[in-house]
Amino acid sequence: MAAERDLPVRPPCGVDMAGRGHEKEGRAATDILNRYVFIKAALMCLAVWLGLSLLVLASVFLGNIGLFTEYDAGGAVIARFMLFSSPMMIHWVLPFSVCVGVIATQASFSRHVETIAMQACSISFFRLSVPYIAVSLIAVLFMGALSFSIYPLAQRHAEKIEQVSIKKRGIEGSFSVRGGRFKIGGDIYHVQHVDIARGIMRNIRCYRTSGGRITTMQRAETVVWDGRAWRSDDMETFRFSDGGIATDRGPSALGLAHPPADLVIAQPGADVLTLGELLEYRGNLSGERIRSVNLDTQIHSRISFAVAPLIMTLLVLPFGLRFPRAGGIARGISTGLILGLAFWAVHSVMTGAGMAGYVHPVLAAWSADLAALLTGVTLMTTRRSTYG
């Protein structure tokens, strides 16, 4: 009898099967709900993304009409310039598009009382958040592709098209992972790194030509702008002639009268280099014991901004699902939009401060992301009742 009492009591077969059936039905209903929310959020984000991209594209076009008119640019040239400029524009608006799309989807659900119905069926806030987070993760993948490769390559072509018509104060040049190159008259310059803010060029070579031949070559590890000329305390000068090669070494100046601001074409161009090329360029500088906080900040910022769609989604999610019954959804959505714009602004300000050397590159690039992530997670875990 004791053994019989120890045996577990099993429910009737029909009851057990009914429970399992309800469980399967509940799981199927949840899957359908997740797909429904995911598709609606994805379409909403895509619509906002296209709308904002077209708005920015039109704004850039209108802003450049004077430039196109001044240099009498043809329609084909303008079309190519705008085509290659568009990846950068859609890259910059994608995070905020996801933010607006997520909030607009939540507003649509709350307006039609769908959010209340979902929560009345005991669907938790975290389960409701899964489709939105999935959309933001897909956006992160797009951001990574755009930021790390697509838009820098496209922007490189856009700048080449622009340089056909636009002269940068008489200086023609470009920048690559091997450094900057520019030409002024018959002088050709190659510089590994230019610090515009401090007026310093490192590892520079100047080739002076005459009649198609190199007549003089100047080489220095560091040259500094003193307000009138670029000078070095230790410059090597080689003069080539039919009689031989004459060398000289000591304090000297380059035959370059342009101030640092004019040499922006030779500055590290993060917008035209892929992430791999930026890392390669930083490696080249490290080999020469040259550290650029500007370059370090740009690399970290390129990576941190790629995860901005996920960060902004986590930041605004708690506000779009709050107080639908009391009519406070408008307040929640407004707060979410303000926080999204604030994240965008703080990231830009901190990145600028890092590039100027006021803030450590890692802190400058990641502080906005970490602050927004911490705020979003805190709001999601300590969120008050939706009906409160």
147-180 pLDDT per residue, tens? 999 999 998 888 777 765 554 444 556 666 667 7
Return the pLDDT at 321: 60
Q: What is the pLDDT of residue 158?
A: 86
Identify the pLDDT of residue 181.
Answer: 80
Helix axes 75-111, 13-63, angle to 10 degrees: 140
Query: Rounded to two decimals, what is the model's pTM?
Result: 0.74
Which two tokens mark 38?
A: 């995911």
Q: Indicate the residue type of 37.
A: V
Q: What percent of the chain has pLDDT over 70?
A: 78
Across the strands, what pairs with 201?
Answer: 194, 223
Indicate the pLDDT class of residue 317, thresholds 50, 70 and 90: confident
Cα 354 to Cα 274: distance, rounded to the nearest angstrom:
20
CB-based contacts of 155, cutoff 8 Å, min separation 6: 84, 85, 87, 88, 271, 272
